[in-house]
């Protein structure tokens, strides 16, 4: 296309039509420079698509791509905040006292109308939105520790408290709520492209109140998934703790996270609620990981590792210290796994069998591998090593997918045995 700019002038011609800049066009080192503040008007002339440029936050959207956020607070005890997005999102999630932070680096999430929404709730009090240096950030404030879980293929993030006192199995499961408007379950997945999340009901969170700040206390549990088992998937390592150096540039923590996300998807489509212990590059201690799985009331805990040596997958169950377990209802921390170990071994055997069925090289063994010893529910660790294509397999979605499919099918096959032994 023809465009004519003149150094030092604010007038230009694009496709034969006049255009005026907010400041003069400049030429430096044989490059033409336009004022940033003119981009919103200038780029659509070239691209034929709407352009939304947020100069102060350094974010530029080409096309009609903004992802909307809907908020739905289920004022149950404990409360759950469902965030519904008009398209799948993949934020980096971190927690600090009183706050759960989601940072959207690549997702074109846009402001929910008001920068801050207050909830009429004593625990989850506020959500606030900000943009800075290319990122959008959503902070949820609470006076108890929070965790987030994804559902609905990345379109819903459920923020809930980590409850220690009451051992309700459903603590960390995605909310299954209905509010005033009738939202029959059959509407879910109807494929209509949602422009507005309030018109995209899902079984997880049928309706969203954007910016209303009005908790819907009329929410009632539909309990369509009474027997939905929570699987806690733990991508080992993270943050400064990088795990093994699989190559010069590939830390184990990256492989475990990608693998965990694939496994989450495979488990979700098989009807499990899934919580990743990290969904970004953050670190936590082994004790914190075990505690998170225990307080969440998980039915199964799966830890994921990766190695550059070996062939295929290794599936581990805990190797308990000789002194445990005790006789009473209390178990030493290092032998917390003891009552669940028989089922853990069934899970391991099922994974080995499913992988063998798929000609995926696999070996099962037990190891004193923390935090397997410290979790109450059936627990396995799966270490992924390269297959026939060598180290490239570790970052191959296809290779990881084959392993994830086998693990998910195996977990389904023993679903009835999962949970904390009574």
78, 79, 243, 312: which one binds Zn ion (CB under 5 A)? 243
Distant-in-sequence, close-in-space partners of 318: CB < 8 Å, separation ≥ 6: 337, 341, 344, 366, 367, 368, 369, 372, 373, 379
Q: Which is nearer to Zn ion, 299 or 312 (CB)?
A: 312
- Give whichever of 272 and 316 is closer to Zn ion, judged by the CB atom: 316
Own/partner pairs, 140-147, CB within 8 angstroms, 24+ separation: 140/81, 140/99, 140/100, 140/101, 140/102, 141/98, 141/99, 142/98, 142/99, 142/100, 143/98, 144/78, 145/95, 145/97, 146/95, 146/99, 146/100, 147/95, 147/100, 147/172, 147/275, 147/292, 147/296
Q: Hey, how many other C-beta atoms are within 10 angstroms of the C-beta on 294? A: 20
Only one of the segments 40-48, 228-236, 312-320, 322-330 lies at the binding site for Zn ion (rule: CB under 5 A); that segment is 228-236
Q: Is residue 305 near Zn ion by the rule CB under 5 A?
A: yes
Contact 112, 102 (CB under 8 A): no
User: Which among 251, 291, 256, 194 has a CA at the least distance from the CA of 382?
Assistant: 256
Shortest Cβ 315–Zn ion spacing (Å): 14
Q: Which is nearer to Zn ion, 129 or 399 (CB)?
A: 399
- Pair 387, 312: CB distance under 8 Å: yes
Rounded to whole angstroms, the Cα distance separating 234 from 220 reads 31
How many CB atoms within 10 Å of residue 331? 18
CB 253, min distance to Zn ion, A: 8
Which x/- pattern over 16-45 shows residues binding Zn ion (rule: CB under 5 A)?
A: ------------------------------
Choices 53-61, 83-91, 231-239, 278-286; region in contact with Zn ion by CB under 5 A: 231-239
What residue is closest to Zn ion based on CB? 305
Q: What is the rounded CA–CA span in Å between residue 91 and residue 138? A: 10
Burial class (CB in 10 A: 0-12, 13-18, 19+), 158: buried
Report the nearest approach of Zn ion to the CB of residue 377 (Å). Answer: 21
Total of residues contacting Zn ion (CB under 5 A): 3
Of the candidate spans 47-55, 187-195, 211-219, 237-245, the one that interacts with Zn ion by CB under 5 A turns out to be: 237-245
Give the residue with the Cβ less far from Zn ion, 139 or 241: 241
Q: Using CB under 5 A, which of 172, 236, 302, 380 touches Zn ion? A: 236
Closest separation in Å from C-beta 369 to Zn ion: 9
Smallest gap from Cβ 332 to Zn ion, in A, equals: 24
What is the pattern of x (binds Zn ion, CB under 5 A) and - over residues 263-302? ----------------------------------------
State the Cα torsion 14-16-21-26 to the nearest 10°: 70
235 sits near Zn ion (criterion: CB under 5 A): no
Between 264 and 305, CB nearer to Zn ion: 305
Decide: is 314 part of the binding site for Zn ion (CB under 5 A).
no
Question: What is the contact surface with Zn ion in residues (CB under 5 A)?
Answer: 236, 243, 305
């Amino acid at each position: 296309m023809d465009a004519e700019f003149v150094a030092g002038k604010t007038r230009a011609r694009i496709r034969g039509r006049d255009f005026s800049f907010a400041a003069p066009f400049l030429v430096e080192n044989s490059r033409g420079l336009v004022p940033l503040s003119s981009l919103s008007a200038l780029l659509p002339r070239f691209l034929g698509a709407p352009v939304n440029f947020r100069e102060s936050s350094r974010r530029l959207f080409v096309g009609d791509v903004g992802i909307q956020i809907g908020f739905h607070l289920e004022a149950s005890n404990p409360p759950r905040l469902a965030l519904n997005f008009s398209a799948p999102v993949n934020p980096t999630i971190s927690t600090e006292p009183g706050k759960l932070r989601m940072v959207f680096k690549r997702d074109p999430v846009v402001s929910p109308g008001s920068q801050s929404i207050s909830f009429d709730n004593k625990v989850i009090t506020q959500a606030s939105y900000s943009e800075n240096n290319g990122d959008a950030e959503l902070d949820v404030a609470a006076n108890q520790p929070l965790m987030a879980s994804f559902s609905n293929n990345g379109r819903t993030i459920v923020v809930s408290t980590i409850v220690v006192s009451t051992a309700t199995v459903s603590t960390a499961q995605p909310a299954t709520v209905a509010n005033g408007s009738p939202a029959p379950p059959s509407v879910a997945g109807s494929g209509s492209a949602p422009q507005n999340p309030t018109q995209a009901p899902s079984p997880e969170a049928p309706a969203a109140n954007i910016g209303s700040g009005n908790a819907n206390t009329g929410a009632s549990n539909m309990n369509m998934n009474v027997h939905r088992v929570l699987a806690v998937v733990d991508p080992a390592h993270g943050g400064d703790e990088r795990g093994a150096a699989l190559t010069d540039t590939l830390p184990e923590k990256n492989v475990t996270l990608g693998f965990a996300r694939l496994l989450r998807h495979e488990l979700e489509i098989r009807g499990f609620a899934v919580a990743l212990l990290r969904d970004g590059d953050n670190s936590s201690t082994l004790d914190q990981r075990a505690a998170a799985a225990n307080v969440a009331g998980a039915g199964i805990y799966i830890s994921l590792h990766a190695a550059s040596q070996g062939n295929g997958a290794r599936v581990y169950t805990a190797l308990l210290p000789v002194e445990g377990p005790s006789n009473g209802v209390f178990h030493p921390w290092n032998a917390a796994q003891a009552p669940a170990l028989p089922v853990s071994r069934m899970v391991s055997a099922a994974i080995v069998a499913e992988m063998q069925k798929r000609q995926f090289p696999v070996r099962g063994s037990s190891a004193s591998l923390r935090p397997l010893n410290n979790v109450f529910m059936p627990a396995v660790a799966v270490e992924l090593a390269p297959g026939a294509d060598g180290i490239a397999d570790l970052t191959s979605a296809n290779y990881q997918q084959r392993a994830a499919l086998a693990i998910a099918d195996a977990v389904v096959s023993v679903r009835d045995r999962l949970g904390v032994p009574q």
